[in-house]
Structure 1
Amino acid sequence: MLAGLGLRLRIFLLFAGVAAASCTVVAAALYFGYSRIPEAGAGSGFVLAGLLSVFGLLAISAAIWMLFDENVAKPVQQLSAAIRTRAHADVDAPIDLEGAKYLGDLAPAAYAVTGRLIDNTADAGELVADATAQLAAERAQLALLLTEIPVAIVLVSPAHKIMLYDGQAADVLGQVHVPRLGASIFDYFVEEEVRAAYNQLTETRTEIAVDVKGARGNLSFQVRLKKLSQSPGYMILIDETTTRIAPEARRPLIYDFDAAQHNSEKAIDQRSLQELSFVVFDTETTGLMPNKDEIVQIGAVRVVNGRIIPGETVDQLVNPGRRIPPASTKVHRITDEMVAEAPDAATAISDFHIFARDSVIVAHNAPFDMAFLHKYGHISGQVWDHPILDTVLLSAIVFGAEQEHTLDALCARLDIEIPQNLRHTALGDAQATAQALCKLLPILTSRSLDTFGKVTTQTRKYGRLLKDMN
């Protein structure tokens, strides 16, 4: 009945009802107290009337709060989350018109406005798609031209951070470790040898040829360092004759020139979300008890500049050193035979520690997965002191703590589809979490939560969610 009335009239009736109920409670309390005067005296009667009035008004306040929370606060929170999701995450999120029916025309109006925004975004997206297609064609042409150059190419910033590498360079770097945009070149080549060559290059020459060892000391490479004439930094050219790369190999270009502009000297709390690099990971295990169970798989992807970087992934089976319970195999489909030749947990986690260097670690329900990393960190002497974000808590910030925050529920809200064959695989769940992160970041930024410190301050308000999940 109330839903058919105007919003202002409903609010007037609500407060009129509050006033009437309050007057009724006070009058009833006074009457009851007055009736007790002959038995208990005037003082006791007034005290009783006062107590009854207080408890009655508290009951009315609690009832009004429950009505507002259920019919105003929660719908407004859900409506704002849906609007921001539609506006900033490129998701056609549904708006619960029935749940917001007591907000008058607000929900239909928001639906209309965001619908128009989506239409305009789609029109703009077509123009962007045309421009992107042209850039992709030019990029493909550049990649084709690069195939004629029998070297692998890496562009490095003046701070010795990797800004670009091609497909053949990815193969070369991959012989040392998984290539990573924004990573230090010293993670792949011995620092002293590269610095010595770089110092010669900057002092007297525009190009220098040197032999350098891989950072792990088991490989040697003939490389040339070359100055860039139009921008700061330098180029490393790796001759194919000293590597195991094929000249006919594909040459996709992976790059992030903004990496050179990021100020890594800032305290992590002051750094913007846009300039951070994230390693999003997940584990599959023999069970749910980190103190007793073992890892059987690690999957991870990197997110730089708000996008997932293709090829910068970890998909590693791990030998747990014990039989995998059939109940666990039923979930993640990993068998004893599959992990028989895999590295042990200490080795796999040591490699992952390098992959996650200088990055913010992200996971869905991070305390569970981090417990395994800390467990082997104590054994191998590695310190897992990386900054951490948890997508469970980011989901609570955006959608409200009272919502469900499983990975499936979060992906459903953000229109992310997890292929059934990849669900409950470490890499599949890590990729889904990374997609969720990429859609959550612009929503957080739109709410002025644009630095790591601001976001983590908000996440602390929802820490109880993780305690309940674990």
Structure 2
Amino acid sequence: MFTSLSLRLRIFLFFLGVAAACAGIVCSALYLGYLRGGEEDATSGLVFSGVLSVFGILAVTTGVWFLFDENVAKPIERLAAAMRVRAHADAQTSLDLHQARYLGDLAPAVDAVTGKLSQISADVEEHLAEETARLMAEKAHLAILLTEIPVAIVLVSPAHLIMLYDGQAADLLGQVHVPRLSASIFDYFNEEDLRAASAKLTGKRSEVLAKVRCSRGNLTFELRLKKLSQASGYMILVDQTHARIDPRADRPLIYDFDFREHESEQAIENRPLQDLTFVVFDTETTGLTPHKDEIVQIGAVRVIKGRIVAGEEMDQLVNPGRSIPIASTKVHGITDDMVADAPDAEQAVGRFHDFSRDAVLVAHNAPFDMAFMQRYGKALGFKWDHPLLDTVLLSAVLFGENETHTLDAVCERLGVHVPEEARHTALGDAKVTAEALCKMLPILASRGYGTFGEVIEQTRKHGRLLKDLN
């Protein structure tokens, strides 16, 4: 019956009850004090009454705080978090109306407003989906046409960053390092050789032929550099007869013409989250002890400008050099036979280090996965000096420490679908973590945490969550 009353009347009755309780405590304390002291010792009776009143009022205050926290503060926080998720992460999460039953019509009103906005958003998205499908079909057709041309194509910005590469170029670049959008072209080709060749693209000279060594010095390529007439930067063309390129390469056309080159010159703390490159990764292991157990799989995807880059992913089985416990196989499904011909941990971790170059590393419960990486990085002689984000802590920043922060709970809260067959595989978990990250970024910005430094400052407040997990 209480929940059927208007919110204003409920608040009035609540405070009336608090006042009545306090008045009752004072009157009872005075009466008990009178009984204790009598007429002969009124002073001691009053002191006793005062002390009893203070403790009684403190007890009422504590009870009021508890009721307010459980029935007002927490529901309001959860409503606010759910509204931000709906507004900025485009997730159709349900509101718990029963939990907010003491907030009057607030929760149903929020549900109605966000539902209406969701409907409007759905209509807009339907139109955008049609246009996107058309553009994707054109992109796929273009990728097929480029695959038919026996030439690898790489577009490079004036700052020598990769803006586009096709499937055949992915094979070419992959002979040196893992192909990466927005990476420096000098990660793949010798800087001195390539700068000398590109410097000749001046005046009326729009094409240059040059022999250029790879960055590791063990391969030499015959490159054709072509100045772009309608845009800044230049194109690198490589005939498949002059490089080990698979003409049947079937990889998507990868491009981004919108990243901000000048942002890379800023300190990482001052750079907007949306302009950062993230590598979201996960590992599967033989057990839960990083200094004793071994890696059996590494999965990773790249996120640029808040979007997962299709085609730029790593899915690598790893030979642990020992038998995989049956209990671990039951979790991730990886057997000894599956990893028999896989590279060892040092090779796999080295490849992942190349894949994550110049990126912010992201993982769910990152200390566990990074402990393995640090161990092998030390053995290989390189440092993991990448900036690091943990989606456990990001969840705590957005939804509060009292919520559950497992990967499944975070994905459910954000409306991220977790395919059952992909769960507890390194690449599958990396992909859903990346999807969760992409939904978290605009919510963080809406809370006023727009730069990497501001987000790190907030995550440090919840560091003890990771200590409890590990």
TM range (shorter): over 0.9
Query: In the alignment, residue 454 of structure 2 is paired with which amino acid?
Result: K
Query: In the alignment, residue 133 of structure 2 is paired with which amino acid?
Result: A
1:198 to 1:24, Cα distance in 2 relative to 1, 3 A? same
Report if the CA contact (8 A) 2:171-2:249 is conserved.
no
SS class of match (2:454):
helix
Query: In the alignment, residue 239 of structure 2 is paired with which amino acid?
Result: D
> Cα offset for 1:177?
2.1
SS class of match (2:264):
coil
> Cα offset for 1:14?
1.1
User: Which residues of structure 1 form unaligned runs of 5+?
Assistant: none
User: After the TM superposition, which of the residue ranges 5-14 and 398-407 deviates more from structure 2?
Assistant: 398-407
Aligned residues: 470
Counterpart of 1:366 in structure 2 is 366
SS class of match (2:281):
strand
The reply to whether residue 60 of structure 1 matches residue 60 of structure 2 is yes
> Cα offset for 1:415?
2.6
SS class of match (1:338):
coil
User: After the TM superposition, which of the residue ranges 280-289 and 159-168 deviates more from structure 2?
Assistant: 159-168
Counterpart of 1:269 in structure 2 is 269
Counterpart of 1:387 in structure 2 is 387
Deviations 1:26-65 (Å, cap 9, x if unpaired)?
A: 2323333343335995554444333322222221111111
Counterpart of 2:324 in structure 1 is 324
The reply to whether residue 12 of structure 1 matches residue 29 of structure 2 is no
Counterpart of 1:96 in structure 2 is 96
Counterpart of 1:109 in structure 2 is 109
Residues in 2 aligned to 1:69 and 1:101: alpha-carbon distance in whole angstroms: 14
> Cα offset for 1:406?
0.9
Deviations 1:383-406 (Å, cap 9, x if unpaired)?
A: 112111111111222222211111
> Cα offset for 1:251?
6.4
> Cα offset for 1:254?
0.9
Residues in 2 aligned to 1:246 and 1:345: alpha-carbon distance in whole angstroms: 27
Report if the CA contact (8 A) 1:178-1:313 is conserved.
no
Residues in 2 aligned to 1:429 and 1:248: alpha-carbon distance in whole angstroms: 30
Residues in 1 aligned to 2:407 and 2:44: alpha-carbon distance in whole angstroms: 59
Report if the CA contact (8 A) 1:262-1:275 is conserved.
no
Residues in 2 aligned to 1:450 and 1:456: alpha-carbon distance in whole angstroms: 11
User: Which residues of structure 2 form unaligned runs of 5+?
Assistant: none
Report if the CA contact (8 A) 1:365-1:390 is conserved.
yes
Query: In the alignment, residue 317 of structure 1 is paired with which amino acid?
Result: L
1:210 to 1:42, Cα distance in 2 relative to 1, 3 A? farther
**Paired-residue identity, %:** 66
1:420 to 1:116, Cα distance in 2 relative to 1, 3 A? same
TM (normalized to structure 1)? 0.95
SS class of match (1:196):
helix
Deviations 1:92-130 (Å, cap 9, x if unpaired)?
A: 100111111111111111111111111111111122123
> Cα offset for 1:239?
1.6
User: After the TM superposition, which of the residue ranges 69-78 and 408-417 deviates more from structure 2?
Assistant: 408-417
Report if the CA contact (8 A) 1:161-1:260 is conserved.
no
1:21 to 1:340, Cα distance in 2 relative to 1, 3 A? same
Residues in 1 aligned to 2:266 and 2:39: alpha-carbon distance in whole angstroms: 75
Counterpart of 2:445 in structure 1 is 445
Query: In the alignment, residue 215 of structure 1 is paired with which amino acid?
Result: S
> Cα offset for 1:236?
1.2
Residues in 2 aligned to 1:375 and 1:249: alpha-carbon distance in whole angstroms: 35
> Cα offset for 1:213?
2.2
Structure 1's consecutive aligned runs of 4 or more residues displaced over 6 angstroms after TM superposition are none
Deviations 1:4-36 (Å, cap 9, x if unpaired)?
A: 100011111111111121222223233333433
User: After the TM superposition, which of the residue ranges 16-25 and 361-370 deviates more from structure 2?
Assistant: 16-25
SS class of match (2:216):
coil
Counterpart of 1:35 in structure 2 is 35
Residues in 2 aligned to 1:40 and 1:66: alpha-carbon distance in whole angstroms: 41
> Cα offset for 1:269?
1.4
Residues in 2 aligned to 1:218 and 1:241: alpha-carbon distance in whole angstroms: 18
Counterpart of 1:308 in structure 2 is 308
Query: In the alignment, residue 279 of structure 1 is paired with which amino acid?
Result: V
Counterpart of 1:211 in structure 2 is 211
> Cα offset for 1:158?
1.7
Query: In the alignment, residue 300 of structure 1 is paired with which amino acid?
Result: A
SS class of match (1:76):
helix
Residues in 2 aligned to 1:259 and 1:131: alpha-carbon distance in whole angstroms: 22
Residues in 1 aligned to 2:95 and 2:373: alpha-carbon distance in whole angstroms: 40
Counterpart of 1:457 in structure 2 is 457
Counterparts in 2 of 1:250-261, with a 5 A limit? 250=250, 252-261=252-261
User: After the TM superposition, which of the residue ranges 143-152 and 174-183 deviates more from structure 2?
Assistant: 143-152
